[in-house]
Amino acid sequence: MSEKLFVFDHDGTLTDPIVTHDAYTDIFESQFRNITGLPRDVITKYIQPEREELIAHPEIYGWKNDQGFIVTPATFDTYVLNRIAAERAMVNMRKSKEHGLPEPSDVSGFLDNLENDSYAQLGAFYRQDAAHTIKEILPLGKLVIVSGSKPNHVLAKLQPFLRNNKISDDKIEVRGNAQKNLINPSWDRVPWSMKLPGLETRDILLRRKNYGSIILSLGQSPHVVVGDGGEFDLITPYVLKMNTMLITSIFTPKWEANFFKTQNSLEGVANKIITDLGK
């Protein structure tokens, strides 16, 4: 059997999205307190209801990129969720005349700094079955991790994890800066958009050129592309006729779970891959 190519996202796919969310939320609110001087309980009082609203209605709320396009639900990951929740919370904080807040024109920069500082303090919380999964699939081929993060940020987490689990990195490659959130209107390799059944409020945008080009440049079509965000990680590979698999969590919108082939664990992904290749 010839060697296969497997493409995985990193954050939320190899790492545990729930544990990461709890840890990041704590750091994020602490950093918010440090910058503004507001008491932590006050910050939580304003932000937590916004998180709950975003989680309750992913069909309504999305992450709007710098181009003005909605590119994924607001619940896609903890970084997006906390950023949007904080932005919404500051509107109410300002109405209540809470102190220490940035001027409206400075909110974006404030959130950029808050997110960067919080991310820098966040540890790596890999799924319990991540090491087992990697060990299962590496004998079958090569693993390429394609992330929107900077490659050095991913490697700073990944390399100690691999060493601690006695996993060789000979057949593991990291591609970063995938810009999965960036839409290139002129990239006509794929259609502009598509409907996903169950999401009636908007179309899904497909022309994520930088991300698609990275996968197309790998030299062979992946046996499977695995991610935890259907719209973010999988929709472009899907329209490029690639095999995709979604790892679900409490943050997964119903329409994504219904549309993509799903597993709720990395071990399930490994079992599916091995079963497919054994046919």
In CATH, what number is assigned to the domain containing residue 190?
Answer: 3.40.50.1000
188 shares a domain with 131: yes
Query: Please, what is the end-to-end C-alpha distance for the chain in angstroms?
Result: 12
Confidence (pLDDT) at 279: 57
131 shares a domain with 117: no
Q: What is the pLDDT of residues 69-128, one digit of tens each?
A: 999 999 999 999 999 999 999 999 999 999 999 999 999 999 999 999 999 899 999 999
259 shares a domain with 147: yes
272 shares a domain with 139: yes
This prediction's pTM? 0.94
241 shares a domain with 134: yes
- Structural domains in the chain (count): 2
110 shares a domain with 169: no
143 shares a domain with 72: no
Q: Which domain holds residue 88?
A: 18-121
Confidence (pLDDT) at 261: 96
Q: Among the three residues 90, 121, 152, which one is the final residue of a domain in this structure?
A: 121
155 shares a domain with 100: no
Tokens of 154: 């991913």
164 shares a domain with 32: no
Contact predicate 73/254, CB 8 Å: no
Please state, in angstroms and rounded to a whole number, the distance separating the CA atoms of residues 36 and 93: 12
190 shares a domain with 57: no
Q: Among the three residues 74, 103, 121, which one is the final residue of a domain in this structure?
A: 121
The low-confidence residues of the chain, meaning pLDDT below 70, are: 1, 279
Q: How far is CA 20 from the centre of its chain?
A: 12
109 shares a domain with 148: no
Q: Among the three residues 121, 153, 175, which one is the final residue of a domain in this structure?
A: 121
Q: DSSP string spanning 132-162?
A: HHHHHHGGGEEEEEE-SS-HHHHHHHHHHHH
Tell me how many degrees the CA angle 275-11-181 measures, rounded to the nearest 5. Answer: 105
151 shares a domain with 29: no
